[in-house]
């Protein structure tokens, strides 16, 4: 029988993860299927668990496998200031699933910083910073310049999934880590469509994979706007409601980020030049017309509708009524997603979750022999047979 591969990790991380999860030695040992004395020897560095045993402990401690390969235990995740509580919940209290995803995203950032150090390279610094007093249309144009996107190129992204993946790659190229919550996390869109964790170096955007692809593009740009403001936030970019109103300043920020996202995805001149907007048109729009406007920019009908309102091409009454219909359709989409079985193969799921930028960073560190192939597999949360398939996908080659 082949010998188990040992996980070459910092033993301090094992002890830290267990204690921070408030798990006893006996409960952790039971999960790993070993004696308490064996677990103690791992935590003291006298021996090391196999990769399989480490996976079991990571599951018990609710930590991503990659965190155990950090040089030092990370600090816990920073507070997120703008959180609109769900009905019936205590303000500011995150669900356990979302708490875990935020923590995991920050731990992956710590790992990314460590990998850059292994490579002897400085991680990119995010170059752009703006204020709430600035013009959202001007910021949108600046973001397009930063990302190097033109109307001609964007016009080829007719499929919403293609558009979202393209925007994601561009944002990652600007020095932002863009992660997605895995579908298995099942975090409802009403709790979080996206979040931003602002840093000058390697800021984080997290997008909810349960949302429709066209809506994800808007979420991505909304959170990108938070990064530009250096404002960490959890957003659903919905309007405030009577039950759960935001504080005025928080609402101002959310509206501003909506405006920046819309200006980035649908520049004023390009939007108003659409054939449907030429000449006189009533303030009410059919579903087919909204879908055509949305398709032209690879966005959701809701985003196109909001842009029409901004330019006075519809009124508040129609916007409110039509948006209610769109949200009802979104709920039906979420319900179908919830009931759907199966999912993408492991390498596609991992790349969707971690993003091409992070995956390439891990692979590059492996290519330069700074980490082992087993390390790379563990950072990516994959088994060895899936690495080559993820590599092909990350670099746009046929698997």
Which sign does the torsion angle of CA 151, 157, 160, 164 carry? negative
CB neighbour list of residue 78: distance below 8 Å, 6 or more residues apart: 106, 197, 232
Helices then strands (H, E): number in the chain? 18, 4
Q: What is the pLDDT of residue 342?
A: 67
pLDDT confidence bin for 88, thresholds 50/70/90: very low
Question: Which 8-state DSSP code applies to residue 207?
Answer: E
Q: How far apart are CA 244 and CA 242, in angstroms?
A: 6
For the stretch 297-324, pLDDT in tens is 999 999 999 999 999 999 999 999 999 9
pLDDT attached to residue 339: 67
Is 362 or 81 the better-scoring residue by pLDDT? 362
For residues 36 and 26, the answer to whether their CB atoms sit within 8 Å is: yes
Q: Per DSSP, which regions of the chain are E strands?
A: 177-181, 194-197, 204-208, 233-235
Q: How far is it, in rounded angstroms, from Cα 144 to Cα 146?
A: 5
The residue among 5 and 366 whose pLDDT is bigger is 366
Report whether 390 contacts 380 (CB < 8 A). yes
Q: What is the pLDDT of residues 173-232, one digit of tens each?
A: 999 999 999 877 778 888 889 999 999 999 999 999 988 888 999 999 999 999 999 998
Lowest-pLDDT range, 53-67, 77-91, 123-137?
77-91
CA distance 212 to 189: 10
At residue 89 the predicted structure's pLDDT band, cuts being 50, 70 and 90, is very low
- Return mean pLDDT, the chain: 86
pLDDT at 332: 76
pLDDT at 90 over 70: no
Which residues, including other chains, have CB under 8 Å from residue 206's CB and lie 6 or more apart? 101, 102, 105, 178, 179, 180, 181, 192, 194, 195, 196, 197, 223
Asked if 213 and 160 count as a contact pair (C-beta separation under 8 A), the reply is yes
Mean pLDDT of 70-81: 64
CA-based radius of gyration for the chain: 23
Cα 51 to chain centroid distance, Å, stands at: 27
Q: What angle do CA 89, 93, 97 make, to 5 degrees?
A: 100
Question: Which of 89-93, 278-282, 333-337 comes out lowest in average pLDDT?
Answer: 89-93
91: confidence class by pLDDT, cuts 50, 70, 90: very low
Task: Tell me the pLDDT tens digit for each residue of 4-28.
Answer: 678 888 888 889 888 887 788 999 9
- Given a cut of 60, whether residue 258 has pLDDT beyond it is yes
**Among 30-39, 130-139, 244-253, 358-367, which is the least confidently predicted range?**
244-253
Please give the average per-residue pLDDT across 230-247, as a whole number: 63
Q: Nearest-CA neighbor of 195 among 182, 183, 204, 184?
A: 204
Is pLDDT of 82 > 50? no
Closest CA to 92 of 191, 187, 179: 191
Say what percent of the chain tops pLDDT 70: 89
pLDDT of residue 95: 78
- Domain map (residue ranges) of the chain: 1-63, 115-339
Total-model pTM: 0.80
pLDDT at 109 over 90: yes
- pLDDT at site 277: 94
Query: Does the structure show a pLDDT above 80 at 2?
Result: no
Q: Is the pLDDT of residue 50 over 60?
A: yes
**With respect to CATH, is domain 1-63 assigned 3.40.50.11740?**
no
């Amino acid at each position: 029988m082949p010998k188990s591969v040992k996980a070459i990790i910092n033993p301090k991380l094992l002890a830290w993860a267990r204690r921070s999860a408030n798990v006893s030695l006996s409960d952790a040992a039971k999960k790993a299927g070993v004696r308490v004395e064996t677990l103690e020897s791992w935590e003291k560095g006298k021996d090391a668990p196999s990769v399989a045993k480490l996976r079991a402990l990571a599951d018990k401690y609710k930590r991503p496998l990659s965190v155990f390969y950090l040089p030092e235990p990370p600090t816990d995740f920073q507070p997120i200031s703008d959180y609109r509580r769900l009905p019936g919940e205590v303000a500011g209290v995150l669900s356990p699933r979302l708490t875990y995803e935020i923590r995991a995203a920050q731990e992956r950032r710590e790992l990314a910083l460590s990998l850059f150090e292994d490579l002897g390279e400085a991680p990119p610094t995010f170059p752009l910073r703006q204020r709430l007093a600035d013009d959202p249309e001007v910021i949108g144009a600046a973001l397009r310049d930063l990302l190097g996107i033109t109307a001609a190129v964007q016009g080829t992204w007719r499929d919403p999934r293609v558009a979202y993946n393209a925007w994601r790659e561009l944002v990652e190229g600007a020095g932002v880590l863009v992660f997605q919550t895995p579908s298995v996390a099942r975090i409802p869109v009403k709790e979080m469509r996206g979040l931003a964790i602002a840093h000058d170096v390697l800021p984080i955007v997290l997008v909810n994979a349960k949302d429709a692809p066209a809506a994800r593009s808007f979420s991505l740009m909304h959170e990108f706007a938070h990064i530009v403001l250096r404002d960490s936030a959890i957003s659903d970019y919905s309007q405030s409601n009577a039950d759960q109103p935001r504080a005025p300043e928080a609402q101002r920020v959310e509206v501003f980020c909506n405006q920046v996202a819309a200006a980035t995805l649908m520049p004023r001149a390009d939007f108003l030049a659409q054939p449907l907007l030429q000449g006189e048109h009533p303030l009410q729009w059919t579903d087919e017309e909204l879908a055509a406007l949305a398709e032209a920019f690879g966005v959701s009908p809701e985003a196109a509708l909001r842009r029409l309102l901004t330019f006075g091409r519809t009124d508040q009454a129609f916007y409110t009524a039509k948006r209610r219909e769109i949200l009802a359709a979104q709920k039906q989409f979420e319900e179908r997603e919830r009931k759907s079985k199966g999912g993408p193969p492991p390498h596609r799921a991992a790349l969707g979750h971690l993003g091409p930028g992070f995956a390439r960073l891990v692979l590059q560190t492996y290519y330069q022999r700074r980490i082992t192939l087993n390390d790379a597999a563990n950072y990516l949360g994959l088994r060895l047979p899936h690495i080559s398939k993820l590599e092909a996908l990350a670099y746009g080659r046929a698997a």
